[in-house]
Amino acid sequence: MIKLAMFDTKPYDKKGFDKYAADYGVEIKYFEAKLGEDTADLAAGFDAVCAFVNDSVSATVVDKLVAADVKMVAMRCAGFNNVDCRAAHGRLAVSRVPAYSPYAVAEHAMALLLTLVRRTHKSYIRTRDYNFSLSGLTGFDLHGKTVGVVGTGRIGRVFIDICRGFGMRVIAFDPYPVEGIDYVDKDTLFAESDIISLHCPLTTDTYHVVDGDALSKMKEGVVIVNTSRGELVYAEALLAAIKAGKIGGAALDVYEEEAEFFFEDNSDHVMPDDVLARLLSMPNVIISSHQAFLTEEALDNIAQTTLQNLSTFFCENVVVNDVCGGCNGACKNK
Ligand code: NAD
């Protein structure tokens, strides 16, 4: 049996992994703790670790895993910006789940966008209190609006299909264009879009792709949707633009400093992050807790692909869905 230590485990993770683990010859020990410098020692005695978006696979963590004779890091997510690929290369096999359900994320992006522009988040709270007033709930039609999509990979393309279904004009930016999409340069996308949705990975090129300079090039009243990675948006600049009335709204499933707060119940604590607290206080900002991936279909695919990645490596010595052999260090190592 392959002995796997799974970090940052939540109850919803276990269902799929418990269902398929035996089929792939994997025995799993679940840890609630996140993987990081303080917890990497827990991996001693295991063949592999399984990590998620807010775990840290830094150079120090890689050193500790290698010293503990761990052979593989199986990421159970698509993004791998939290893996120090240079440190891992040639020392640890690192796999990921490149596509588990692009529909889950793209549909959540549209759900956030519709909620924001039709003020559903406000009316939900009002009607529960028998307040049936419509004042302040005026939205706008998506039909006929221009949406700028940054990143036209698996998720971006599904999101584009959904937007086309709504009768929106779609423009896009991606250094690797594909057929059938109207591409423009980034500044044109910023200048012409009524809505901008981010679907690119976090790399050194995309870090703070939406910063103060980018925001200054956007239309008055632009709506920003980010379901990719928090660090794509410079949160302080976004907050300043919202306070200045430049931004019509922001729908965020991810946040720069989310690792400290997301996926946990912090309702009993004072929020120490002033930017997050201020964003949450805005009527035209909605934030979900990195939940875009969270559908039954996606969780099932994540479990199966992660276990398949482990089984293929330990049984056939082949790393499928390889991260560190293929990225050429393009991922952001912090
Ligand atoms: P993908 O690899 O299929 O597509 C990414 C696209 O981004 C590619 O077309 C690539 O060419 C493009 N790209 C690369 N550099 C770019 C740049 N500088 N500017 C613009 N585009 C660039 O990935 P995907 O499956 O579509 O996922 C996209 C991202 O969504 C992931 O990297 C991950 O960060 C995020 N994600 C979030 C969740 C969630 O739950 N919120 C779940 C899954 C994925």
- At 71-86, the pLDDT tens digits run 999 999 988 999 999 9
- The catalytically annotated residue of 154, 229, 231, 256 is 229
> What integer pLDDT is reported at residue 325 of this predicted model?
65
CA of 200 to the centre of ligand 1 (A): 3
Edge-first strand order for the sheet with 72-75 is: 26-30, 2-6, 48-51, 72-75, 93-95
For residue 329, pLDDT beyond 70: no
- Straight-line distance from the first to the last Cα atom of the chain, in angstroms, rounded to the nearest whole number: 34
Residue 287 vs residues 48, 229, 234, 279, 290: alpha-carbon distances, Å: 33, 13, 15, 8, 9
Which domains does the chain show, CATH number per domain?
Answer: 2-100+295-316 (3.40.50.720), 102-287 (3.40.50.720)
Q: With bands split at pLDDT 50, 70 and 90, how would you rate the model's confidence at 6?
A: very high
Tell me which residue has tokens 């398949």: 308
Q: Could you give the CA distance from residue 135 to residue 28 in angstroms, rounded to a whole number? A: 53
Q: With bands split at pLDDT 50, 70 and 90, how would you rate the model's confidence at 332?
A: very low
Residue 230 in contact with ligand 1 by CB distance below 6 A:
no
Residue 201 in contact with ligand 1 by CB distance below 6 A:
yes
Q: Which of 228, 253, 258 to mutate to test the pocket of ligand 1 (most atoms within 8 A of CB)?
A: 228
Q: For all residues of the chain together, what is the average pLDDT? A: 95
Residue 248 in contact with ligand 1 by CB distance below 6 A:
no
For residue 334, pLDDT beyond 60: no
Residue 185 in contact with ligand 1 by CB distance below 6 A:
no
Residue 290 in contact with ligand 1 by CB distance below 6 A:
yes
Question: Please, which residues bridge with residue 49 across strands?
Answer: 5, 73
**Is 290 designated active site?**
yes
**Is 121 designated active site?**
no
- The catalytically annotated residue of 290, 296, 297, 316 is 290
Q: With bands split at pLDDT 50, 70 and 90, how would you rate the model's confidence at 327?
A: low
> What integer pLDDT is reported at residue 326 of this predicted model?
54
Q: Could you give the CA distance from residue 170 to residue 149 in angstroms, rounded to a whole number? A: 7
The CB density around residue 275, as the number of other CB atoms within 10 Å, is: 16
Residue 207 in contact with ligand 1 by CB distance below 6 A:
no
Q: Whose CA is nearest to atom 4 of ligand 1?
A: 153
Q: Could you give the CA distance from residue 5 to residue 47 in angstroms, rounded to a whole number? A: 8
Q: Whose CA is nearest to atom 1 of ligand 1?
A: 153
- At 87-134, the pLDDT tens digits run 999 999 999 999 889 999 999 999 999 999 999 999 999 999 999 999
CA of 176 to the centre of ligand 1 (A): 12
Q: Which of 52, 185, 199 to mutate to test the pocket of ligand 1 (most atoms within 8 A of CB)?
A: 199
Residue 252 in contact with ligand 1 by CB distance below 6 A:
no
CA of 227 to the centre of ligand 1 (A): 10
Residue 206 in contact with ligand 1 by CB distance below 6 A:
yes
Token pair, residue 8, equals 């940052």
Q: Could you give the CA distance from residue 132 to residue 139 in angstroms, rounded to a whole number? A: 16
